[in-house]
A and B are shown apart, each in its own frame.
Chain A
Amino acid sequence: MLGAKPLAVVGSDSKAALVRELGAEVVINRTTQDIVEATLAATRGAGADAVYDAVGAATIESSLRATRSGGTCVLYGGASGAVTEIPSELTERVNYQRTGLATYLADAEAFRARLGALFEWYRLDQVVPRIGGTWPLEQTADALSAIAGGQTTGKLIIKP
């Protein structure tokens, strides 16, 4: 939607197939490919202009190495565990930031401005959410087990 070229990182072959179907030209399966090598190969050796990492402890070093010199590397979650220490030589060459949604949804104006933009993208077909499954309230544990297991795709919904 922004004209930028995404390098889509996924954790399985079936997820790779899904994001290809959705239009991603460069797909990296982190369970079978080296993220840094694959990123450098896709960017003529430069690294990515921006890297968005919410996996955390398991990936942050690769993420920093995959960021081009002077590019931006954002850590916005820790699905694989919290990041503690990072070698400074990795953070010095890029604009490294740790942040989270609360910073950017801090008041009513931010909620309305961001959702307003997203509703517009949806109308223009520029963002097409996929619903990956729906569970009744009684099966809340099943829905959470599914997402924690890492095998789901798209957005999961609980309907009370």
Chain B
Amino acid sequence: MRAARVTAFGEIEGISVAEIDQPEAGEGQLLVRVTAAGVNFADAGMVRGTNRRREPPFIPGVEAAGVVEAASEGAPADLQPGARVVFWDPMPSAFAEYAAIDSWRCVPIPDDVPDEVAVALMVQGATAHYLTHDVSNLAAAQTCLVYSAAGGVGRT
């Protein structure tokens, strides 16, 4: 399969795209054919080595939408081959044609939600959700200061 590769920590321009072996779905995992991967600011730190998650060589990218190609035994009924899913995994592997991801990190995408929308709702949407519902319980008429307001999820 084709995959983006970081072979040494360093400048972003050092990312190469190469033909490598396709991963297999291990125990508890799904093999996902990636259709739309999400780019995050934190990806750059993983490539440069300032925010290390994996040692090189590795495939960057922590979230994507795609289609389940193969499911390990015991995978949920709604995550079987053919299912459209979105996932987030802080250990990067998403900028590739295929990714093997723990099934608990995968959520089926409803028919009326496009892949790009599902990806946009993954990291940025889930972040906005926990910030406003769990960390703080934001109520009507309260004020909140939001940085990076022009970023991944818009509309207030």
Contact = CB atoms under 8 A, between A and B. Distances in A.
Interface of A: 1-11, 15, 18-19, 22-24, 27-28, 30, 35, 39, 42-43, 48-55, 59, 63, 66-67, 72, 74, 76-77, 79, 97, 99, 101-105, 107-108, 111-112, 114-119, 121-123, 126-131, 134-135, 137-138, 140-141, 143-148, 153-160
Given A23-B156, A154-B152, A154-B154, A76 B131 contact: yes
Interface of B: 2-4, 12-15, 17, 34-44, 47, 60-61, 86, 88, 90, 95-97, 103-107, 109-110, 112-113, 116-132, 134-136, 138-156
A54 to B, nearest CB: 6
A159 to B, nearest CB: 6
Given A19-B154, A115-B126, A141 B105 contact: no
Contacts of B154: 18-19, 22, 128-130, 154
14 contacts: A6-B146, A7-B145, A8-B150, A19-B149, A63-B145, A76-B135, A105-B126, A111-B105, A114-B125, A122-B117, A141-B12, A148-B44, A155-B39, A156-B39
B123 A101 contact: yes
A14 B154 CA distance: 15
Contact of B120 (A7, A11, A55, A131): A131
A116 B118 CA distance: 11
B26 to A, nearest CB: 17
Contacts, number: 269
B121 A4 contact: no
Contacts of B12: 141, 144-145, 148
Given A72-B136, A101-B123, A128-B154, A5 B145 contact: no
Sorted nearest first, the 10 A-B pairs with minimum C-beta distance are A3-B140, A129-B120, A8-B149, A15-B150, A104-B130, A156-B39, A155-B120, A108-B104, A49-B142, A140-B4
A13 B89 CA distance: 34
Given A19-B150, A118-B125, A160-B34, 4 more contacts: A9-B145, A123-B112, A157-B36, A157-B38
